[in-house]
Amino acid sequence: MTKLMSQDELKTLVGQAALQYVVAGEIVGVGTGSTVNKFIDALATIKSTIKGAVSSSVASTERLKALGIPVFDANDVTELAVYIDGADEIDQAGYMVKGGGAALTREKIVAALSKQFVCIADESKLVNALGAFPLPVEVIPMATKRVMQQFTAMGGSCSVRQKDGQPLVTDNGQHIVDVLNLKIADPLAFESTVNQWPGVVTVGVFAHQKASVCLLGTESGVKTLKF
């Protein structure tokens, strides 16, 4: 009888596969989330070969440091060879929705510093069109109502992400609005439009910082998609 791999095992598989993109002697960009945690654990096994990491969240920084991997400030580097991160959705062009872990803004900053974005994901994340996953948007709290009105006018259905009965506060001290029912037909245009709304810190569409490669965990092994 064939034993199906769990989502956790698929995440471990791609987390380990991402090591092949890590450049010896350099600083690696590190994303956030359960898939990236597998990558961080794998990275720890080769930590003596790298200079360290630039991290996209407090959570990843803590995990990296706990495993003895030096963490550099993004302002200490000019460019990174590679950024490794997960996604909530990735389409056939490498456009992504991210921010399920509320780290989207820092993720976009580290991605923008990097020559290559390697997305690691289990196959459930591959979609034909972005928009089924509730789109995370980091918003300055004062602008929440107006931003939600703008999404509602586009047909979206909004909620402010909660933690312990209160609005979740991001690493940047802001809130997250999650938006359902959006049609994101043109991710580049959509990202540019929403990012210009006053009070939006960043939208979770990664089109201008799309993936260059996706390591997709499947039942038959890791598939490499290049964009």
**Interacting residue ranges for ligand 5RP, rule: CB under 6 A:** 31-35, 85-88, 98-104, 107
Closer residue to ligand 5RP (CB): 32 or 212: 32
In angstroms, give the least distance from the CB of 85 to ligand 5RP: 5
Residue 215: strand, helix, or coil = strand
The answer to whether 123 is a known catalytic residue is no
In the bound complex, what is the minimum distance in angstroms from residue 188's beta carbon to ligand 5RP? 19
Give, in degrees to the nearest 5, the angle at Cα 72 between 199 and 96.
50
Shortest Cβ 214–ligand 5RP spacing (Å)? 12
| Residue count of the chain | 227
Beta carbons of 120 and 88 less than 8 angstroms apart? no
Instruction: Output the DSSP codes for 140-203.
Output: -GGGHHHHHHHHHHTT-EEEE-EETTEE---TTS-EEEEEES---S-HHHHHHHHHTSTTEEEE
Residue 60 vs residues 37, 38, 212, 219: alpha-carbon distances, Å: 7, 11, 22, 27
Pick the closer one to ligand 5RP by CB: 103 or 177.
103
Q: Which residues of 51-70 are buried (b: 16+ CB within 10 A; e: fewer)?
A: ebbbbbbebbbebbeeeebe
- Pick 64 or 87: Cβ nearer ligand 5RP: 87
Closer residue to ligand 5RP, CB minimum distance, 143 or 176: 176
Minimum separation from the CB atom of position 25 to ligand 5RP (A): 26
Single-letter amino acid code for the residue at 11: K
Report in angstroms how near the CB of residue 122 gets to ligand 5RP at its nearest: 8
Residue 150 or 209: the one with the smaller Cβ distance to ligand 5RP is 209
Furthest-apart CA atoms within the chain: distance in Å? 56
Lookup: tokens for 77: 């580097």
d(CA 102, CA 137) in angstroms, rounded, equals 9
Q: Which residue in the list 9, 26, 62, 107 is annotated as catalytic?
A: 107
User: Which residues does the annotation mark as catalytic?
Assistant: 107
